[in-house]
Structure 1
Amino acid sequence: MHEMSLCEGILQVLESNAASQGYRRVKTVWLEIGQLAGVEQAALRFCFDAVTRGTVADSAALEIIDVPAQAWCMPCARQVNIEQRFDACPDCGSYQLQVSGGEEMKIKELEVE
């Protein structure tokens, strides 16, 4: 379950920032997760609660912002939304697409005290 290691990485960032910026508690974490990131959100929520127990982020709320998958269609010369990798362009049907968004996972915002 790679969601556990993702949560451990998130906690490292939170603890590092707490030390450098002087906050003592994280109340809410907003994560942007791309549709193509391969992250199971239910598992991530479960792991986040388990990993953050007894830490600066104990009982913190986890808010997930879904980022749609996007690709550049070479024949259309424009950005299109896709559902999954290797989809055809929804406009022209071409498979000459280059994924340009929806693979990321990042901490967007924190609420701290």
Structure 2
Amino acid sequence: MHELSIALGIVKIAEDETAKVKAEKVTKIELVVGVLSGIELDSLNFVWESAVKDTVLEHALKKIIVVEGRGKCIDCDTEFEMENMYDCCPNCNSNFKGILTGKELKVKALEVI
């Protein structure tokens, strides 16, 4: 379950950023998570409370923005939606593609006081 280490990494980012501006706590955090990032949102939500206990994020409202997967076929230039990393082009069935969106994992915003 690598979601715990990801949650702890998010806590570290939040603590570093609040220290920079000399804030005491975070009231809201926005995360961007792509469906192709390998993050299970249910698992992340499950470990979140334990990861943020006694940190600047303990009472923060968490908002997750999910980015859908999108790829572009290298062989025929078709852009298509992707649910899995191994999805092939619906036009020519090629497995050669570039990932356009869906691999994101980032802290988009922190509201601090």
- The two structures have a TM-score, normalised by structure 2, of 0.88
8 A contact 1:49–1:59 mirrored in 2: no
Q: Superposition RMSD on alpha carbons, in Å?
A: 1.6
Aligned to 1:110: 110
Aligned to 1:65: 65
Tell me the secondary structure at the aligned position of residue 64 of structure 1.
strand
Q: Give the corresponding residue for 1:7.
A: 7
CA distance in 2, matches of 1:2, 1:100: 24
Q: Which amino acid aligns with 1:70?
A: R
The runs of at least 4 aligned residues of structure 1 exceeding 6 Å deviation read none
Which SS does the other structure have where 1:50 is aligned? helix
Residues 37 and 104 in structure 2, CA contact (< 8 A), matched pair in contact too: yes
Gaps of 5+ in 1: none
What is the TM-score of this pair, normalised by structure 1?
Answer: 0.88
Q: State the shift of 1:78 in Å.
A: 4.2
Aligned partner of 1:49 in structure 2 is 49
Match of 1:79 in 2: 79
- Asked if 2 retains the 8 angstrom alpha-carbon contact of 1:45 and 1:62, the reply is no
Kept after mapping to 1: 8 A contact 2:78/2:91: no
> Shift of the alpha carbon at 1:74?
1.8
> CA offset at residue 79 of structure 1?
3.1
